[in-house]
A and B are shown apart, each in its own frame.
Chain A
Amino acid sequence: GAGVSQTPSNKVTEKGKYVELRCDPISGHTALYWYRQSLGQGPEFLIYFQGTGAADDSGLPNDRFFAVRPEGSVSTLKIQRTERGDSAVYLCASSLTKGTPSGNTIYFGEGSWLTVV
């Protein structure tokens, strides 16, 4: 596609429910990132995929959070037993190749705003 696409754009869910957020990266981009951003804060790194594998999942806050990218394209961020503190904008980004010392630009989607009530 022309840009990174994220669905849903907004999601309201009840505490304790399961949520899936989808990211469709730019076609041909092998690197995919998930970030979480709370109001007034910068994006917080969650997980990075290179192809199908999670190359760095050090930012996932706990085992309620999980992400997959089974075919190396679309990715799904899964949150189990949601808590009110999970409310945030979840941003997905992709880039053509993994970061190198010369640098690659990462392109962000518009985000999925999750509200847990």
Chain B
Amino acid sequence: SQQGEEDPQALSIQEGENATMNCSYKTSINNLQWYRQNSGRGLVHLILIRSNEREKHSGRLRVTLDTSKKSSSLLITASRAADTASYFCATVPSGTYKYIFGTGTRLKVLA
């Protein structure tokens, strides 16, 4: 079973706009990671945030983590058509070593 869910399931925006997607999870975690997937094949790691961190930045990406609400958000600023992909959050539940993925947000950036 999957750990959590991304919201929204699908998002369509214009190039240059910001895209925000959210992830909720169910159990306590060691860390949370965001991945990107093009065309249903391999996933590419974007950013990792540890359970004791609240916010992290990497280029145009900003990730927040609220462990009290068991939720995270991924913000992509100044989106580009090349950002079109599916985005997944993955958590490592405490006491395990397995990465559990959410259901994903399909982002479409229109040129």
Q: CA separation between A46 and B72, bound complex, in Å?
A: 24
- By a beta-carbon cutoff of 8 Å, the part of chain A in contact with chain B is 4, 31, 33, 35, 37, 39, 41-45, 48, 50, 55-56, 58-59, 89, 91, 93, 98-103, 105-111
A85 CB to nearest chain B CB (Å)? 17
Main SS class of interface, A: loop
B46 CB to nearest chain A CB (Å)? 10
| Contact A42 to B48, CB < 8 A, known contacts A91-B42, A101-B30, A111-B41 | no
Which residue on B lies nearest to A44, using beta carbons?
B2
Q: Is the CB of B42 within 8 A of A101?
A: no
Size of the chain B interface, CB-CB below 8 angstroms: 25
Which residue on B lies nearest to A102, using beta carbons?
B50
| Contact A103 to B92, CB < 8 A, known contacts A42-B104, A108-B42, A109-B42 | yes
| Contact A108 to B88, CB < 8 A, known contacts A45-B98, A102-B50 | no
| Contact A91 to B97, CB < 8 A, known contacts A43-B88, A103-B92 | no
Q: CA separation between A102 and B33, bound complex, in Å?
A: 12
